Each structure stands twice: as C-alpha cells, then as structure tokens.
Amino acid sequence: MTTYHQSARGEPRVALVTCSELADLDPDDRLVLAPLATRGVAAQPVVWDDPDVDWSSYDLVVLRSPWDYALRRDEFVAWAAGVPALVNPADVVRWNTDKRYLGELSAAGVPTVPTTWIEPGESWHPPAETGEYVLKPAVSAGSQDTGRYDLADPEHRELAAAHVRRLSDAGRVTMVQPYLRAVDTEGETALLFLAGPEGLAFSHAIRKGPMLTGPDLGPDGLYKVEEISARTARPDQLAVAEQTLAAVPGGTRQLLYARVDLIPGPDGKPVLVELELTEPSLFIGYADGAPERLADAITTHLTRPS
C-alpha cells in the first residue's frame, strides 16, 4: 500500500517547484491546480532554493518553473540530488541541464541541429563563410543569453565574437549552430508527452513563432516572451520525437513529462533543437484536456512504487 504525507484534509501533498520571481507559478502551470484538487491532491508552489522547505514532507516534488538556475547550475543539480520523490529525477536533471546532451543524442542517430561547442578559454573566430548562426550557452533557460548573427555583417561578426568572450569569461560553454530559416515561416514545433500507466504518451503540440531577431545584447528578463499557438503534430515529427525519447538514458518510464522541440532542417525534415526534461513550459492552456492529462500524470507517479 502507498503511504502518503497527508495534508490536514488527508490528501497527498505535491510541491510544484518554481523560482522566487514566479513564486505563485507561471499562469500556464496554475491550470493544473484545480484538476489536481478534484483528484484529491493538495498541490502548492514551492521555491526551489527556499532554505526553510522540508522537501521530505511532500509525496511528490514536480519541477515546473525554476528558471533562475542557469547561472547556478551546480547548486541546482546538488539541490535536486537531495530531494526525495523528485520528477523528473535528479540524474535526468544533471544530464538534461547541460545541452551537450545533444551530442549524445546525435551519436545515437537522432537528427539534431549541427552544433559546435566552445569551451571556456578556447579561442573562437566567426567562420569565414557567411550565413546566419545562433550562439547560446550550453546551460540556459528561457532563451537567455541567446543571439542570432548574420556573419555577412561585419558588426554582427564582432558582436558574435564578443558574445562568445562574454560567456567564456563567465566560465560557460558556448554553442554555435546554423540558424534554421524554416523557423521564420513554419516556426518551431514543441511536442508534449505526459506520463500514463504504460509510460510517456503524446499529449499535444504547439507552434512557437520565431524569437531571435538579432544579436544578444545582455540580460532582458527571466525568459523571452514567446508567440504560441496550437498545432497538429505530423507523423514525421512524432517519429523523430519517439526516436529522441528512446535514446534518453535510463528510459522514459521514470519521466513525468517530456518536451521535444523540432524545426525543419534545410531538407524540410524535422531536426531536434532541444529535448526539455527539466523545467519545460508544457503549454497546457493550448490543448483541450491537457490540464487534466497533466493532473493524471502526477497522480500516476504518486501511486507508483518508489
């Protein structure tokens, strides 16, 4: 029989992990509170770095919007390792919060955006060929410290080099990727998967409009505002998503959720941009029944043997 840390009303307790800037949760995440309540689950937002929280008092600790961790990843990973009943679990957090996992997925045969990695202290000069490139840190959230550079523009070349130096001076790894122009027309497709009795199952998809308009010029908030709309996933997109999830270390049964972000490559076929397993926006407000499906996913994990 499952043992719960019951609330005063006798309900299982769930922490929805966030950050101090979103102490009451992102509005999209708040949509799951009512469905959880109808399922007899007492859920509440909890700030991840609040020193007064007793994480062992919760039956399940669900990572949702701890989006300020990027500059404190080591602290965040250490925190996750000490939290019981965390989903997604701490070893997934360690692997997924450094985007060098893309190299592992590429090696496993997943079609990914070609990426060059620049270690701190390593010199880098923009390539001689022209074209547009995206620069961003390997550890980031909310598209922070991310810029788009047209290397045919001398000013952009200088700004790109300065971007890499800025990240390098901060001890951060830089990613250099070609800008996939299809995002300007088709946008980016995010496919959302939620836990069910048999493991992860596809829930819904959304379209994100283009976000990067030019070079990164410094901090501009916790996250960049996104243009979101509902989308119907195509079979080829679902196939790449399933291939991606099949390559996750430890398998997907341990996961509460997954988000697979895809953009068409130069040949029109979908390629992986990111696999979000730590703190993705789930966009449950953009699909009928998605808040209820997330609530069901949480109750599924509540009743699984530890």
E runs forming strands in 84-179: 86-87, 116-118, 132-137, 147-150, 174-178
Could you say which of 73, 276, 279, 293 is catalytic? Answer: 276
Alpha helices (H) in the chain, listed in sequence order: 27-30, 33-38, 73-81, 90-96, 101-107, 154-169, 235-246, 290-302
Is the previous residue joined to 88 through a cis bond, with omega within 30 degrees of 0?
yes
Distance separating alpha carbons of residues 117 and 208, to the nearest angstrom: 25
For 71, residues 6+ apart whose C-beta sits below 8 A from its C-beta are: none
The reply to whether 231 belongs to the active site is yes
SS3 at position 27: helix
Task: For CA atoms 8, 60, 47, 75, give the dihedral sign.
Answer: positive
SS3 at position 88: coil
Task: Fill in the amino acid letter for 22.
Answer: L
Could you say which of 13, 64, 231, 293 is catalytic? Answer: 231
Phi, psi angles (nearest 5°) of residue 65 = -135, 55
Task: For CA atoms 282, 284, 247, 108, give the dihedral sign.
Answer: negative
The reply to whether 276 belongs to the active site is yes
Letter string b/e over residues 206-239, b meaning 16 or more CB atoms within 10 A of that residue's CB: bbbebebeebbeeeeeebeeeebeebebeeebbe
Could you say which of 259, 274, 279, 293 is catalytic? Answer: 259
Backbone Cα Rg of the chain: 20
Q: Which residues are catalytic?
A: 231, 259, 276
